[in-house]
Amino acid sequence: MKKALILFVLLAISLPTSALANEGGAAMNSEQAQVSNSMVHPGSTLEQYEFEDQHGEKKTISPDTNLLLMSFEMDLSKQIHGFLENKDPNYLEQHHAQYVVDITPMPSIITWLFAGPKMRKYKFPILLADDDEFAPKYPKEPGKIAALKIDKDRTISSIQFFDSMEEVDKTYFQEPRISVSNMADQISKIKAAK
């Protein structure tokens, strides 16, 4: 009996992540498992963290922030920085967004000698997550920007993943545009309804 129990435990441990099942019994892929195992999810309350920005100033997620963008990979951060460099330095603030970069994988000496001085040149704000306990709580997908929509009471209403800042910009920051023909159709429908 004892051997059977040990064998069962070893078998359960050796199963690949993709074989995990959710509550309904359906198989989840590794990305879903990564999201479901994180502590932060839609409906949870955003914890208050104290970060340092790229200039060494202490910052938190401000109360008027309704979108939190997160990067957990260096190449992804470079892409985000390239996009934001071409925008007004207050671009994120104007859209009630903040940007967090997980720097825990980077050795401290590299951060201090190379990454830190480079990041200080950016005019847009970057919150640096250097606490080993921060990143594991947040969902992530390889090569994707995590976008957490935050309600006024600091509840996370949704979490989406994007391949680029252009997609984030299109989804959250650009006003929907109505074409002239679409507008004419809408006016006709309103008149017909009267």
pLDDT along the chain (194 residues), means of 10: 38 33 32 54 92 90 95 93 94 96 75 69 90 90 96 95 96 72 65 71
CA distance 73 to 68: 16
Query: Beta strand pairing status for 156-162 and 67-71?
Result: unpaired
Q: Are 168 and 69 in contact (CB under 8 A)?
A: yes
Amino acid 110: pLDDT: 63
Q: Which residues of 18-53 are buried (b: 16+ CB within 10 A; e: fewer)?
A: eeeeeeeeeebeebbbbbeebebeeeeebeeeebbb
Tell me, what DSSP letter sits at residue 121?
A: T
Contacts 24+ apart (CB under 8 A), 161-166: 164/79, 164/83, 165/79, 165/80, 165/83, 165/84, 166/83
- Identify any residues that bridge with 101 across adjacent strands, giving them in sequence order: 71, 128
Q: Which CATH architecture has domain 36-169?
A: 3-Layer(aba) Sandwich (3.40)
Task: Tell me what pLDDT residue 2 has.
Answer: 44
Rounded CA gap, 44 and 154, in Å? Answer: 9
Segments of 24-122 assigned E as strands: 51-53, 58-59, 67-71, 97-102
Q: Where are the domains of the chain?
A: 36-169
Distances (CA, A) of 180 to 84, 174, 185: 31, 18, 9
Phi, psi of 63 (to 5 degrees): -60, -25
Looking at the DSSP bridge assignments, the partners of residue 119 are: none
> How many residues are present in the chain?
194
Contact status, residue 159 vs residue 148, Cβ threshold 8 Å: yes
> Residue 56 in contact with residue 50, Cβ under 8 Å?
no
Q: Provide the residue type at 23 as one letter.
A: E
